[in-house]
Amino acid sequence: MAPEADLLVARFLGHLGNERRLSEHTRRAYERDLAQFRDWARDADVADWHSVEPAHVKAFAAARFRRGISPRSISRALSALRAFYRYLLREREVTRNPADGVSAPRATKRLPGTLDSDTMARLLDIKGDEPLTRRDRAMLELLYSSGLRLAEIVGLNIGDIDLADRTVRVTGKGSKQRIVPVGRKAIAAMRDWLAARGNLAGDTQAVFVAQHGRRIGTRSVQRRVAHWARQQGIDARVHPHLFRHSCATHVLESSRDLRGVQELLGHADIATTQIYTHLDFQHLAQIYDEAHPRAKRRRD
């Protein structure tokens, strides 16, 4: 691009600061993103901003992706380019916006973290008879046993628990209710906690209460989970949702029942549940590499 192309960028940046009142930090982000496209366009022999075609914008996005730039950063750069061309259209400097309709490469879906069954068993091996220790043991057992979300376990009321039937009624996203099974060890931990709960709970209906007697909060659950991970010597970042991921993965590994895991987790769309098949495949691939005669690596 010719040096004159920078004048239009300077006018646009002035518009962001003077008319749109955007912060200096945001203005500099626009400036960096536009500079990256300008430098790429110069190397691609694009004469000026009027000469930019949608194909150029797509090629720019692809080139950034090949360099290892994250899809999120590429998306932000494309957003800056679209905003710049909207300004140029308003100023009658161009007749079209070549960045319209161009999207960043799709981000690779991050697989949720999990703990293996042995590590989870070590984490749940919580000793002690103090009321709050009983509460924490029951919370963690229930998180893992039934794959509950953090908000779901905090929102549980006494009437939601059926110890005889070994089930719990959960109110999930969109106020949708589901009934999920509770494992034997979680039931035992719940019985133990409920026997001590009356000394703390007062007249609240919450299953899990804090020391002051009111319903426990989400931050408190997060802190208690992190506390017990440290206490049990777990060398990983442990958070409540990790129990849900681990529960789903372990059930799927054993049952191969994707629909069952969908119902357990309360996913409206099975596509959400299918991410656990990728985790299961990773586990299978690891076992294959270690066990198959044609896959095992030679030992030095």
Q: What residues are labeled active site?
A: 149, 173, 241, 244, 267, 276
Q: Determine contact, residues 16/9, Cβ cutoff 8 Å.
A: no
Cα separation, 199 vs 202, whole angstroms: 7
Terminal Cα-to-Cα distance of the chain (whole angstroms): 56
Give CA 37 to chain center in angstroms: 30
Give CA 167 to chain center in angstroms: 27
Q: Determine contact, residues 155/169, Cβ cutoff 8 Å.
A: no
Q: What are the two backbone dihedrals, phi and then psi, of residue 146, each rounded to the nearest 5 degrees?
A: -120, 0
For residue 146, which of 169, 175, 116 has the smallest C-alpha distance? Answer: 169
Cα separation, 112 vs 258, whole angstroms: 16
Cα separation, 128 vs 238, whole angstroms: 21
